[in-house]
């Protein structure tokens, strides 16, 4: 899936059927709209500044297509398909998963924003991420910046989509979950054990678990990859679902790049 390819290399398109044709100009092609969306994701420009000479259509056209595709679950479906491809290639490490949170600025406010405890209480949001042992993003949740990391532990674990690609039932659970002291909670440990997941989480007031940092560094790398997309490093969308559309698309791009690397 590149800037000119809105569907996976194999399989059917995840795009919903077009609405009934209405009077007026021919709608901009889906592929061109996707290119415009990707341009905004990478370059972090306002929709109205999307260069018309590039042939993507107007910013309003791309914005509406993004909204429609998000409502049709296109980007989450694409992410699941690419995770399955990686799983089939043996590129997912289910022996452990890592969780962490990373705050971002929210310039225009909106839903799921709040005073950031790390940015002089300016309005912000937070990305909560769970990735596999190799740093492949499995699920990202957007909350207000002042939401504690531990509150999203089970939501992240339960939010991992069923990942096919291997014989048997689709995989949804890692064998263990690694977290820093921000995830220290005995009730959450018990809930993880009920899900047959071993909690490997440092306790507050005690020394860190030996070598835990060396295993958890992949989640920081994944955040770095995610926030290389400039539209995600700072939140501009007031509607959380539109911001999450960009997040899911970015996760899909990270997965696609890793899949492409394994096939090269």
pLDDT truncated to tens, each residue of the chain (264 aa)? 544 444 444 455 788 877 666 565 678 888 999 999 999 999 888 898 888 888 887 889 999 999 999 999 999 999 999 999 999 999 999 999 999 999 999 988 999 999 999 888 999 999 999 999 999 999 999 999 999 999 999 999 999 999 999 999 999 999 999 999 999 999 999 999 999 999 999 888 877 777 777 778 899 999 999 999 999 999 999 999 999 999 999 999 999 999 999 887
| Contact between residue 39 and residue 56 where contact means Cβ atoms under 8 Å apart | yes
Q: CA–CA separation, 26 vs 22, rounded Å?
A: 9
Burial class of residue 51, CB neighbours in 10 A (0-12, 13-18, 19+): exposed
d(CA 31, CA 18): 13
At the fourth CATH level, the homologous superfamily of domain 74-263 is Ribonuclease H-like superfamily/Ribonuclease H (3.30.420.10)
Q: Please report the pLDDT score of residue 22 as a whole number.
A: 59
pLDDT at 11: 52
Residue entry with tokens 């696609």: 256
How many CB atoms lie under 10 A from the CB of residue 239?
13
- Return left, alpha or beta for 24; rule: phi > 0 is left, psi -120 to 50 is alpha, else beta: left
Distance CA 183, CA 206 (A): 14
Residue extents of the structural domains in the chain: 30-71, 74-263
Helices (H), the chain: 30-43, 59-71, 74-88, 153-159, 186-194, 212-226, 230-233, 240-263
CB distance 83 to 163 below 8 Å? yes
pLDDT, residue 12, reads 58
For residue 214, the model assigns a pLDDT of: 76
Q: Please, what sign has the CA dihedral across residues 190, 191, 192, 194?
A: positive
DSSP string, 132-179: ETT--EEEEEEEETTS-GGGGHHHHHHHSPPB-SSSSSPB---SEEEE
- Taking the C-alpha atoms of residue 175 and residue 160, their distance in angstroms, rounded to an integer, is 13
pTM of the predicted structure, to 2 decimals: 0.89
Of 58, 147, 53, the C-alpha closest to 102 is 147
DSSP label at 229? Answer: S
């Amino acid at each position: 899936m590149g800037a000119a390819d809105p569907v996976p290399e194999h399989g059917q398109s995840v795009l919903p059927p077009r609405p009934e044709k209405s009077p007026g100009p021919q709608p901009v092609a889906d592929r061109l709209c996707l290119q415009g969306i990707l341009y905004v994701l990478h370059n972090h420009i306002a929709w109205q500044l999307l260069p018309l000479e590039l042939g993507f259509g107007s910013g309003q056209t791309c914005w509406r297509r993004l909204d429609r595709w998000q409502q049709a679950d296109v980007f989450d479906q694409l992410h699941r398909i690419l995770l399955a491809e990686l799983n089939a290639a043996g590129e997912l490490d289910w022996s452990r998963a890592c969780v962490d949170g990373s705050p971002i600025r929210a310039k225009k406010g909106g839903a799921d924003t709040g005073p950031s405890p790390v940015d002089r209480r300016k309005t912000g949001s937070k990305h909560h991420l769970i990735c596999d042992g190799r740093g492949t993003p499995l699920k990202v949740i957007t909350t207000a910046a002042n939401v504690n990391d531990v509150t999203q532990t089970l939501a992240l674990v339960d939010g991992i989509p069923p990942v096919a690609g291997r014989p048997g039932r689709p995989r949804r659970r890692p064998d263990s979950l690694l977290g820093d002291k921000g995830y220290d909670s005995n009730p959450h440990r018990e809930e993880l054990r009920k899900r047959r997941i071993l909690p490997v989480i440092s306790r507050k007031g005690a020394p860190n678990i030996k070598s835990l940092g060396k295993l958890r560094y992949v989640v920081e790398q994944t955040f770095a990859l995610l926030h290389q997309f400039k539209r995600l490093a700072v939140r501009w969308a007031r509607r959380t679902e539109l911001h999450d559309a960009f997040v899911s698309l970015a996760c899909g791009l990270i997965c696609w790049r890793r899949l492409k690397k394994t096939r090269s």
